[in-house]
């Protein structure tokens, strides 16, 4: 996006990538339908970026969701808005969009250099690269770093750039939009690994999220978990005991469920009773039994079904996270996304210290910050 902005501004641009092809992480995002952005009102949209809003808001105002949708449509990829307000290309994948985009960049004269890995700067400020043909040094008039976080490192962004930043402050990279480890019993893990938890609500502190999750061999993951992941992760980082509560029947009131579970059990097993009277699927019954075996009070089944406690012990490894928190500290940037300690060097995307939930906010933040960095370069060059 920075390259397109610069090329349209009349600047000669080369995109350098350490991988054999461009856009690998975008293609991975496309496996989930390529959620480009979200249609909720802009003030609420901007609130999703938390403390980073002060830096990202001008960039998103300059390239808001409707502009990103128009950009996509101009590339021949019409979009649609789902019932949740999320925006997707109708193709529900990234490859047609990426092909059209690369063709546009080529038509704008943007050059591409692949299999070059940036390793830092030399004493004169030149960019150092390891390439298939050996070490190379480039001295451009301006540079945009868009090196990503550290999730899905096999796609190219492994966070290795942090060691090359010198005096520029980098907040340690951490997993975001991630799952969490849970010490399941062997019986539960064997039976329910891979089982979805549908139409649930998750509670942590004052926050409640409705949605879905998935039981994994190591713990729990999924959209509802990701929505709470930053607060769960931060609590674990503070060495707190983290208990996530799952409401297995959020569409049924406590009173209604109490009436159902207050009926005589007769000779039915607990499993059969929970399934028939409580309307729980097998994995829900398993969670209740898991909690009872872990010491949950057995007296009030209704309270347990409405708030099954599961203990989280650690976030999933950063390589398995959807995105990352941490990165270049936002105070290291000026209003043009230029590094204050490196005049002429700009930064954008996930390598900056911001995070957001899934739902279109990640790609919107990346696209908008890329366009803002490109516009910042143009202003910088015109000032020389």
Q: What residues does each domain of the chain span? A: 2-175+321-383, 180-315
Residue 128 has a pLDDT of: 98
Give the pLDDT score at 264.
87
d(C-alpha 246, C-alpha 201), whole Å: 6
Mean pLDDT of 22-50: 95
Question: Token pair for residue 368?
Answer: 């908008």
CATH number of 2-175+321-383, picked from 3.50.50.60, 3.30.70.20, 3.90.228.20, 1.10.1060.10:
3.50.50.60
What average pLDDT does the chain have? 96
Q: How many angstroms separate the CA atoms of 336 and 346, rounded?
A: 8
In the block, residue with structure tokens 């080529």:
106
pLDDT digits (tens, 9 = 90+) for 51-68: 999 999 999 999 999 999
Pick one of 3.40.190.10, 3.40.640.10, 2.170.190.11, 2.40.30.10 as the CATH number of 180-315. Answer: 2.40.30.10
- Distance from C-alpha of 290 to C-alpha of 270, rounded to nearest angstrom: 12
How do strand 117-121 and strand 127-131 relate by DSSP bridges?
antiparallel
Q: What is the mean pLDDT of residues 128-136?
A: 97
Share of the chain above pLDDT 90, in %: 96
For residues 233 and 206, give the distance between their C-alpha atoms in angstroms, rounded to a whole number.
Answer: 16
| pLDDT, tens only, 261-312 | 988 888 889 999 999 999 999 999 999 999 999 888 877 899 999 999 999 9
Task: Output DSSP code: residue 250.
Answer: T
Calculated CA dihedral for residues 319, 164, 52, 42, nearest 10 degrees: -70
Distance CA 375, CA 371 (A): 6
Q: Which pLDDT value is given to residue 298?
A: 75
Q: Note the pLDDT of residue 299.
A: 76
**Confidence (pTM):** 0.93
């Amino acid at each position: 996006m920075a390259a397109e902005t610069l090329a349209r501004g009349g600047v000669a641009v080369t995109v350098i990538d350490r991988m054999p092809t461009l856009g690998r992480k975008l293609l991975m995002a496309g496996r989930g339908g390529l959620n480009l952005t979200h249609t909720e009102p802009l003030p609420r949209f901007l609130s999703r970026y938390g403390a980073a809003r002060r830096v990202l808001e001008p960039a998103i105002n300059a390239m808001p969701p409707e502009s990103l949708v128009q950009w996509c449509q101009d590339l021949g990829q019409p979009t649609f808005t789902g019932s949740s307000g999320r925006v997707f290309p109708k193709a529900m994948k990234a490859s047609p969009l990426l092909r059209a985009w690369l063709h546009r960049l080529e038509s704008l004269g943007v050059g591409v250099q692949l299999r070059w890995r940036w390793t830092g700067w030399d004493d004169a400020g030149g960019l150092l690269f390891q390439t298939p043909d050996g070490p190379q040094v480039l001295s451009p008039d301006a540079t945009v770093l868009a090196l990503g976080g550290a999730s899905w490192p096999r796609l190219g962004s492994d966070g290795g750039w942090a060691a090359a930043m010198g005096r520029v402050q980098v907040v340690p990279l951490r997993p975001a939009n991630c799952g969490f480890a849970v010490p399941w019993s062997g019986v539960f893990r064997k039976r329910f690994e891979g089982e979805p938890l549908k139409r649930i609500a998750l509670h942590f502190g004052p926050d409640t999220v409705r949605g879905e999750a998935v039981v994994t061999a190591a713990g729990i993951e999924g959209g509802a978990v990701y929505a709470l992941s930053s607060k769960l992760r931060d609590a674990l980082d503070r060495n707190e005991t983290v208990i996530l509560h799952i409401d297995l029947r959020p569409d049924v009131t406590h009173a209604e469920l109490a009436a159902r579970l207050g009926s005589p059990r007769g000779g039915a097993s607990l499993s059969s009773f929970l399934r028939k009277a409580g309307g729980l699927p097998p994995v829900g019954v398993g969670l209740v039994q898991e909690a009872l075996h872990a010491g949950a009070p057995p007296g009030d089944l209704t309270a347990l079904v409405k708030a099954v406690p599961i203990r989280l012990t650690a976030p999933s490894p950063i390589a398995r996270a959807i995105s990352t928190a941490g990165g270049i500290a936002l105070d290291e940037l000026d209003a043009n996304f230029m590094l204050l300690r490196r005049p002429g060097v700009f930064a954008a995307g996930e390598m900056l210290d911001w995070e957001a939930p899934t739902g279109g906010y990640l790609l919107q933040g990346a696209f908008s910050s890329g366009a803002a960095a490109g516009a910042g370069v143009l202003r910088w060059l015109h000032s020389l």
